[in-house]
Amino acid sequence: MKRQVKARLPRGFRDIFSDNYKLRLQMINTIREVYESYGFIPIETPAVEFVDVLGKFLPDSDQPDGGVFAFRVDDRWLALRYDLTAPLSRIVAMYKDLPKPLRRYQVGPVWRLEKPAPGRYREFYQFDIDIIGTDSMAADAEMCMILCDSLEALGFEPGTYIIKASNRKILNGIIDMSMQALSENEYIKQVLSWMAAKSKSKPSAELKKTEITPAIKLEHKLDIMRCIDKLDRVGLEGIQQLLEKGRKDETGDFKSGCFLSQKQIKPILEFLKIDCSNREKFLNSVSDLITEEHGKEGLDELKEMDEILSTAGYNDNRVIFDTQVVRGLTYYTGPVYEAFLTVKTTDEKGKSVQFGSVAGGGRYDDLIQRFTGQKIPATGTSIGIDRLLVAYQNIKKNELTSSTPVLVTVMDRPRLTDYQKMAQELRQAGISAELYLGKKGIGAQIKYADQRQIPVAVIAGEDEFNKGEVTLKDLRLGTRLSGEIADRDKWRKDQPAQIQVPRDKLVEGVKEILGRYR
């Protein structure tokens, strides 16, 4: 006897069943149509890439194995892709004669070795578009427009979603302004304190100014950005704490801060308090606040996007600018954007929740340089298909999604080929039909049909065969009767639960019953 194996799934993975699968397919096809209408073409990369080709750009750097599923093959380190942007960068560098600007879309699973949590899986679907080879703000404006068009094509009306955009250059400018408030020595002391707190040791007296490399400076700046990115979770007060020494969260965990002074925190908080209710207000307020050159450049870029969006009719009810939008990934260099569902939905526990972010992206002008040595401007958006699917289910829940087949039951096993023929006739008439292939009796067969939400059962026993008839059973009638019908008796008479039709009117009879629910 062989040892029995336990049927189980690794943590963070899951199976997708029929209804969810079909809804997801519908969703992907709808988005694909929008993407293609803007001229995007598909390119599919494999699941597996070289580790160094993928690079390390995940928002949280403190994951085991850098957050990727890595393994060694043929003496080389490979890994499952953690997003679709890194493989695209490889594509652009490898196939130099692809027409530019390149507009490509890709949809598929990505894998991240993160701690699984409710609703957070280690395998999830992304649906990306990117435009490579142009630094035109028209490309970034188009990304926002496409997000609007995609969400609306899925049935999310303006008012139930909002696209929020910002620009990394502005945020960089604000942080640079904040840092300029310090002398060189103060700055070094600050970075040393920050490093010590991070590594939970005392500030090292020996560490010299020269040892604060550009990489360390960048990391400090990114840490400030990551704090700001937490605004919606921790509020302004939380941000204040995180920018100072640190903050204890609800679970009691302490996260060390950035060690900024009050003087430094001020412009950041002022920026975060800007009124973002419409694009004009945002642009004016930022204009008043920003003095640093890069920041001004970012502001001009947003102004350009605003103009294009307004001309195309994408107004404040669809796209706004918002200081809160940071985007965790380290490689963004310009405009960043994020799509939020503002509609309330119910979560798995039936609790009403605001939906939140379902897509995001931004400009990453330096990423492809890793391969080519040359700067190749690029901007891209990723829709989180699994999250969006949950919201889409809420919209579509009253639609009958599954095109379940008709069941041809088997009363009289020796006549199997006759039943087979009935199923085939139905299929040839364009009606999905399935022959019951189990061994159970007619009662169990009807139960099976109910379980599968099958609308019609075709029944034929000796009686029917002798009379040259078939019996058709309307399996949805019960559900319907318990519902909204007022005059039940009359309805029941007009819509009998079972009808007999001549054998050669099988297709017409089935169509009649299916027609009751169209």
The answer to the question of residue 122 lying near a second copy (CB under 8 A) is yes
DSSP state of 517: T
280 binds a second copy (CB under 8 A): no
Q: How far is the CB of 239 from a second copy (least distance, A)?
A: 31
Nearer to a second copy, 28 or 181 (CB): 28
Work out which of 294, 427, 505, 516 binds a second copy, going by CB under 8 A: 427
Helix (H/G/I), strand (E/B), else coil: 272? helix
Name the β-bridge partners of 470.
Answer: 501
Question: In the chain, what is the straight-line distance between the N-terminal and C-terminal CA atoms, in Å?
Answer: 54
Q: Give the shortest CB-232-to-a second copy separation in angstroms.
A: 30
Residues 471-500 as b/e (b if ≥16 CB within 10 A, e otherwise) read bbbbbbbeeeeeeeeeeeeeeeeebeeeee
Residue pair 329/126 in contact by the 8 Å Cβ criterion? no
Q: Does residue 9 touch a second copy according to CB under 8 A?
A: yes
The verdict on 39 binding a second copy (CB under 8 A) reads: yes
52 interacts with a second copy by CB under 8 A: yes
55 is a contact residue toward a second copy (CB under 8 A): yes
361 closest CA partner among 160, 172, 126: 126
* φ and ψ of 499, to 5 deg: -130, 150
In terms of CB distance, is 236 or 444 closer to a second copy?
444
| Number of shown-chain residues binding a second copy (CB under 8 A) | 97
User: Does residue 26 belong to the site contacting a second copy (CB under 8 A)?
Assistant: no
Q: Residue from 30, 43, 231, 514 that binds a second copy (CB under 8 A)?
A: 43
Distance CA 453, CA 450 (A): 5
What's the min distance (Å) between Cβ of 84 and a second copy?
A: 12
Region near a second copy per CB under 8 A, out of 248-256, 280-288, 433-441, 486-494? 433-441
Write down the least CB distance from residue 326 to a second copy, Å: 24
Query: Is residue 417 a contact point for a second copy (CB under 8 A)?
Result: yes
Q: Which stretch binds a second copy (CB under 8 A): 64-72, 169-177, 224-232, 282-290?
A: 64-72
Name the one residue in this structure whose structure tokens are 């020595």.
185
**CA 157/CA 169 separation, integer angstroms:** 31
| Residue window 281-320: x/- pattern of binding to a second copy, with contact defined by CB under 8 A | --------------------------xx--xxx-------
Neighbour-count burial for 102-140, b at 16+ CB within 10 Å, e otherwise: bbbbbbbbbbbbbeeeeeebbbbbbbbbbbbbbbebebb
For residue 190, what are its two tokens? 């600050």
Any contact of residue 6 with a second copy (CB under 8 A)?
yes
- Is 436 a binding residue for a second copy by CB under 8 A? The answer is yes
Instruction: From 79, 170, 137, select the one nearest 307 (Cα to Cα).
Output: 137
Contact 465, 483 (CB under 8 A): no
> What is the CB neighbour count within 10 angstroms for residue 364?
26
Of the pair 85, 190, the CB lying nearest a second copy is at 85
Rounded to the nearest whole angstrom, what is the least distance from the CB of residue 53 to a second copy in the complex? Answer: 6
* Residue 213 contacts a second copy per CB under 8 A: no
Binding a second copy (rule: CB under 8 A), the pick from 26, 30, 45, 495 is 45
Query: Binder to a second copy among 63, 134, 241, 261 (CB under 8 A)?
Result: 134
> Can residue 42 be called a binding residue for a second copy (CB under 8 A)?
yes
138 lies in the binding site for a second copy (CB under 8 A): yes
Closest CA to 132 of 95, 100, 105: 100
Instruction: Pick the binder of a second copy from 291, 416, 492, 502 (CB under 8 A).
Output: 416
Strand ordering across the sheet containing 70-73:
48-50, 76-80, 70-73
Q: Which is nearer to a second copy, 8 or 349 (CB)?
A: 8
400 sits near a second copy (criterion: CB under 8 A) = no
Segment contacting a second copy by CB under 8 A, of 75-83, 242-250, 316-324, 500-508: 75-83
SS3 for 305-353 is HHHHHHHCCCCCCCEEECCCCCCCCCCCCCEEEEEEEEEEEECCCCCEE
Binding piece for a second copy, criterion CB under 8 A, among 137-145, 227-235, 318-326, 459-467: 137-145
Among 90, 164, 279, 473, binds a second copy (CB under 8 A): 90
Q: Nearest to residue 453, comparing CAs of 505, 409, 377, 401?
A: 401
**Judged by CB, which is closer to a second copy: 60, or 275?**
60
Q: What's the CA gap between 64 and 79, in Å, rounded?
A: 13
Task: Out of 62, 75, 99, 251, point to the residue binding a second copy (CB under 8 A).
Answer: 99
Binds a second copy by CB under 8 A, chosen from 287, 315, 424, 479: 424
Please give the residues from 347 up to 376 whose contact with a second copy meets the rule CB under 8 A. Answer: 370-373
Tokens of 97: 């004669």
Tell the smallest beta-carbon distance from residue 105 to a second copy (Å): 10
Closest CA to 80 of 89, 93, 71, 90: 71
Query: Smallest distance from the beta carbon of 71 to a second copy, in angstroms?
Result: 4
Structure tokens at 126: 């992304």
Residue 78 makes contact with a second copy by CB under 8 A: yes
- CA nearest 226: which of 460, 59, 406? 59
